Amino acid sequence: MSWDLYLSIVVPVYNEQECLQGIHEEICRSLDGKYTFEIIFVDDGSTDGSFAVLEKIYQADRRVRVISFRRNFGQTAAMSAGFDYARGQVIVPLDADGQNDPADIPRLIEKLNEGYDIVGGWRKNRKDKTITRKIPSKIANIIIAKLTGVHLHDYGCSLKAYRHEIFENVRLYGEMHRFIPAVANWIGAKTTEIVVNHRPRMAGKAKYGLERTLKVILDLITVKFLGSYSTKPIYVFGGLGIFSFIASVLNGLAVLYFKFLHPRPIAMNRNPLLILTAILLLATIQFVLMGLLAELIVRTYHESQDRPIYTVRTFLQRDEK
């Protein structure tokens, strides 16, 4: 990897042709004379004239690179492609709709140079609708910070600065781009945030609504599982199995109580505890077996890819004499 370039700006684009020329000019105005940089526009299957505008920008500016998808794959895929093709020491994604302010990029980099691996943007004064965007986002950020242990105010802000080496050990799938700081925390990345400017949308319309909340919850479950139990899934399934076994024993004791100390006919319409006891015993066996199978899959995954279960930041060693 050549580090001739210091900064790579990654801009996912989806049906935002009205914004692109202005965003390009703002980025150049904010960074010219300060850093060597490239701008990577990733056209995520736009159906308007976005790609035609990007072609014109590309022809006019040698620092611009354009990636165009065959169809719409989503923001995570667009960001991932930009990160894969980035050549700079620092990578900064930002939205193409004009709500992120490119003038904040130097401030992010200044903070990054204090010794951080990731500096996130905090849209403290968001210019979005309160009911459909701000309130769900605030709730989601609190839950994410609590469960992941990475305490950021604004996971959803695209404007962040990352050291390039972070993405040597972080891969993105599904809709996981908002969880990059949490995923990077698994490998020991040092993360902070600063307040950034947030502006009204320049053009186009929002791509997300309240339905995104459900996706965030499901993705958070995945992140929590991968972060805490990806190398020890038996703890999850075994724990559920133990809980199921205890419940089965308690139900069994209740059945014996009603049978010998407080006689009642053990019929399904009167005392379903016997059936419930059998179901919980079967669930116990299934959970334990699932845990063992998950352990085998995880070990096969790591060993077949020679994938380590740790990453090293610094290695100090004296030469042997």
Highest mean pLDDT among 43-47, 107-111, 137-141, 288-292: 107-111
pLDDT at residue number 315: 45
Strands laid side by side in the 7-13 sheet: 64-68, 37-43, 7-13, 90-93, 160-163, 118-122, 191-195
Length of the chain equals 321
Outline where 45-176 has alpha helix (H): 50-60, 75-85, 105-112, 135-148
Q: What is the pTM of this model?
A: 0.75
Q: How confident is the model at residue 309 (pLDDT cuts 50, 70, 90)?
A: very low
| Residue 4, pLDDT score | 75
3-state secondary structure of 100: strand
User: What is the phi/psi pair of residue 152, to 5°?
Assistant: -115, 150
Token pair 């990733």 in the structure block, residue: 42
- Residues 53-103 pLDDT 10s: 999 999 999 999 999 998 888 888 889 889 988 999 999 999 999 999 999
User: Is the pLDDT higher at 2 or at 30?
Assistant: 30
pLDDT confidence band for 308 (50 / 70 / 90):
low
**So what's the pLDDT on residue 17?**
92
Cα(172)–Cα(165) distance, rounded to whole angstroms? 14
281 to each of 11, 123, 276, 278, 289, how far by Cα in Å? 53, 50, 9, 5, 13
The reported pLDDT for the residue numbered 206 is: 61
As a whole number of Å, the end-to-end CA separation of the chain is 33
What's the gap between Cα 21 and its chain centre? Answer: 29
Least confident of 28-42, 71-85, 175-189: 175-189
More confident residue, 243 or 260: 243
How many Å apart are CA 90 and CA 109, to the nearest integer? Answer: 8
CA distance 164 to 6: 10
Query: Mean pLDDT throughout 163-183?
Result: 82
pLDDT of residue 217: 74
User: Which residue is listed with tokens 């279960």?
Assistant: 309
In this prediction, residues 289-305 reach a mean pLDDT of 76
